[in-house]
Amino acid sequence: MEDRIKIFKIILLIIFAVLILRSFQLQVIKGDYFYKLSEGNRTSFRPISAPRGKIIDRDGEILVSNKLSHDLYLLPNEISPEIEIETLIENIANLTSLKYENLLENYEFSKDNINNRNGLILKRNIDKENMVILLENSEELPGVLVRESSVRDYVYSETASHIIGYVGEISKKELEKYSTQGISSYHVQDMIGKSGLEKEYESYLKGVNGIRQIEVNNLGEKVKELGSKAPVPGNDLILNIELDFQRKTEKILNRHIERLIKEAEDDPERYPPTGGSAVVMNPNNGKVLAMASYPDFDLSTFTSGLSEKDYQGLTANPLKPMLDRNTMAAVPPGSLFKLVTGTAGIKFLNINAETEFEDENGLFYVPQWSRPFRNWHPGGEGVLDFTKAIARSNNIIFYKLGYRLYEKYRGEKLVQTALNYGLGSKTNIDLPEEKAGEVPVAPINENKGVWNPGDSVNLSIGQGGLLTTPLQLVNYISAIANKGTLYRPYLVDKIVNADGEIVYHQQPKVLKELDYNEELFNILHEGMEEVTMSSYGTARSTFRDFPISVAGKTGTAQSGTTDVSHGWFGGFAPSEEPQIAVLIFIENGSSSSYALPIGGDIIKEYFNVEKDSKVENGEENTAEGENTDTVVDNNSSDLEKLDKYISEVFSSN
């Protein structure tokens, strides 16, 4: 037995000797060879770009995917010094339909930025004909190469363009930003999300590039492939949005605004709107169901690399098509704000639905100030109870509330209520850019200026330095609809990887639980139902004989910069058990009455109700002006003067 153990021992020693010899052979004898392979003297690492993640609606309809494209490359180190690069580019331009100036511009732009051996891109996404021409003439075009890559493929390139955003070549700044963050996976000429979800979720969408390791000879020619690492495709975003509803919302918004623009052309008294937006949200969780902004832009113009001219065209357009009004327009909300004033009144002044107010003559005087604040409806509306005051959007009564709040609390409670509803702060929607707007905070922060009674009065109807975004307002309407919870609005529900596994699932996030009792919200709901469904409500023209119960509020706001007002409608439906909150904004739209039919059509579309002709006719009636709640007379410049004067008067006291 001992003998056999010894034999076993010898066998083992021999085998270990073989292992040692083998490692000697690999590391010492052939060590330099392997070292060069590994160090890249004789290996070249060629990136394999990972397909970018798709963007998909909640039912699995694809909004954005990728398609094969061909990029035209120039490899300067393969071009012999005798050949002028300009001549080469000229040859390309002569053979193909590509423009010489354009190619030269791209070459001049990238030649200084690029020091890798992969070559520089002369033109992205060239068409098939040009590609064939270039391949056929490749012998006359040394160092010119066509490589496969992929570009964004938009099923509808003008749908949800603000939400989706565009991708573009990484800028020097972005490269530096990533490298200071320790992220080294980006290279010159990489494509990167530049706006919208493409930017917000860049890290998820990007994927991980693969690498191909190639053994090359001293001329850089491929000898053999040593191995490759397959790219990991980017993760797919699954939105809360439903594609079909999004498209219909956009269509409705575009159709109405284009109609208003056309009508204004024919009518010298009217101003053409300069933009608009519509957003639909689930008030019970903050899911954004549709979000449209007018005018929109075509995402596909970005896929072949935007030329300087295209970019100029987009940015110089006075209507600012790249601007997402929902998140980036910070404008006064006008009478939509009255629900904030109402909330403060109920909470701090013991107002209830039956409390009566009187509008004697359509004028309100701030004590010690001789010029009156006016209602949009001249001559006085008599005695109104509180909910009717909401329904009529009566300025006088809300001035009175604002002033009574001022008497008791200075501006503090009104401003605090506005902040509670999330006005003046970002909603933190999952988009890269969002304006915070502004609530004048002088009464709670003395460093921010002096607060005067006129400021409270002005603020009570949503004017006077107050700036909000449509998204903040839909969130505020939602919080009223669900009776007290302010949710964070969000677009992306889930993120799934290429294997379909969920890597991220966004749960509804509560921004704030509002400390108001149910009774308070019941009063607001009652008032908002009177706005839409009573015989005297400011939104009755669209919603009185509406197939669905809608609660809402109109608003017409001084824009502060021009004489034209913004038109607003915010509401929720069905009013008893809200499933959606809607907010319509018409930039310089003159009147809330123009926003109403847009809201109406979108709500009908959501609940899939047949259009009925009555409401169509109603659209025509709205322009009469009786239900517009414009602050007649007090145009913005006057208001500013007033503010200034009041502040002088009070500071001298």
Partner 1 sequence: MQLNKKLFKNINIYIPITMILLIIIGMFAISSAVEINRVDSNGSIYLKKQIIAAILGIIAAIFIQFFDYRIFKEYYQLIFGSMVIILFMTHLYGSNIGGGRRWIDIGFINFQPSEVSKIVLVLVLATILDRKDELDSLKDMILPFVYFLIPFVLIILENDLGTALVLLVILIAMLYVAGFNKKFLYGFFGGGFLTVITLISSHIFFNTPLPFLKEYQLNRLIAFINPNIDPQGIGYNIIQSKIAIGSGRLTGKGLFEGTQNQLNFLPEKHTDFIFSVLGEEFGFIGVLIVITLFIILFWQLFNIALEAKDRYGKLVVTGIIAMFFFHVVENIGMTMGLMPITGIPLPFISYGGTSLVTSITAIGIVLNINIRKKKLHF
Which residues of the chain form contacts with partner 1 (CB under 8 A)?
1-2, 4-6, 8-9, 12-13, 15-16, 18-20, 22-24, 26-28, 30-35, 37-39, 182, 211, 213, 224-229
CB of 200 to partner 1, least distance (A): 20
Q: Measure the CA–CA gap between 225 and 44, rounded to whole angstroms.
A: 10
Distance in Å from the first CA to the final CA of the chain: 115
Q: Is 175 helix (H, G, I), strand (E, B) or coil?
A: helix
Phi then psi dihedrals of residue 38, to 5 deg:
-75, -30
Give the side-chain half-sphere CA count within 13 A for 524: 31
CB atoms near residue 316 (< 10 Å): 8
Tokens of 11: 């066998």
CB of 186 to partner 1, least distance (A): 15
CB of 497 to partner 1, least distance (A): 18
C-alpha separations of 348 from 46, 364, 483 in Å: 68, 21, 18
Q: Is 99 helix (H, G, I), strand (E, B) or coil?
A: coil
C-alpha separations of 371 from 374, 461, 641, 646 in Å: 9, 17, 11, 11
2/269 with CB nearer partner 1: 2
CB of 24 to partner 1, least distance (A): 6
CB of 31 to partner 1, least distance (A): 4
7/383 with CB nearer partner 1: 7
Largest CA distance in the chain: 122
185/561 with CB nearer partner 1: 185
Q: Is 374 helix (H, G, I), strand (E, B) or coil?
A: strand
Q: Is 164 helix (H, G, I), strand (E, B) or coil?
A: helix
Where does residue 590 rank: exposed (0-12), middle (13-18), buried (19+ CB within 10 A)? buried
CB of 178 to partner 1, least distance (A): 13
CB of 171 to partner 1, least distance (A): 24
Dihedral sign for Cα 318, 321, 324, 326, please: positive
State which amino acid sits at residue 474.
V
CB of 8 to partner 1, least distance (A): 6
CB of 194 to partner 1, least distance (A): 25
CB of 342 to partner 1, least distance (A): 51
23/445 with CB nearer partner 1: 23
211/314 with CB nearer partner 1: 211
CB 593 within 8 A of CB 622: yes
1/219 with CB nearer partner 1: 1
State which amino acid sits at residue 536.
Y
CB of 47 to partner 1, least distance (A): 12
Q: Measure the CA–CA gap between 389 and 364, rounded to whole angstroms.
A: 15
CB of 25 to partner 1, least distance (A): 9
CB atoms near residue 137 (< 10 Å): 14
65/228 with CB nearer partner 1: 228
CB of 23 to partner 1, least distance (A): 4
DSSP code for 54: P
Which residue is listed with tokens 């909910």? 387
C-alpha separations of 515 from 349, 412, 421 in Å: 16, 16, 11
CB of 291 to partner 1, least distance (A): 34
**Full strand arrangement of the beta sheet holding 210-216:** 43-48, 210-216, 222-229
138/203 with CB nearer partner 1: 203
Among residues 529, 525, 541, the alpha carbon closest in space to that of 627 is found at: 541
12/68 with CB nearer partner 1: 12
Q: Measure the CA–CA gap between 168 and 563, rounded to whole angstroms.
A: 39
Q: Which helix (H) or strand (E) holds 288?
A: strand 288-294
2/610 with CB nearer partner 1: 2
13/132 with CB nearer partner 1: 13
Among residues 458, 456, 455, 469, the alpha carbon closest in space to that of 424 is found at: 469
Contacts of 383 (CB under 8 A, 6+ apart): 356, 357, 358
17/383 with CB nearer partner 1: 17
Which residue is listed with tokens 């009908």? 604
33/536 with CB nearer partner 1: 33
Which residue is listed with tokens 């999004």? 246
Assign residue 103 a region (left: φ > 0; alpha: ψ between -120 and 50; beta: otherwise): alpha
CB of 116 to partner 1, least distance (A): 16
7/135 with CB nearer partner 1: 7
Q: Measure the CA–CA gap between 155 and 246, rounded to whole angstroms.
A: 13
CB of 26 to partner 1, least distance (A): 4
227/547 with CB nearer partner 1: 227
Where does residue 361 rank: exposed (0-12), middle (13-18), buried (19+ CB within 10 A)? middle
CB 76 within 8 A of CB 85: yes
139/221 with CB nearer partner 1: 221
Among residues 560, 582, 578, 573, the alpha carbon closest in space to that of 636 is found at: 560
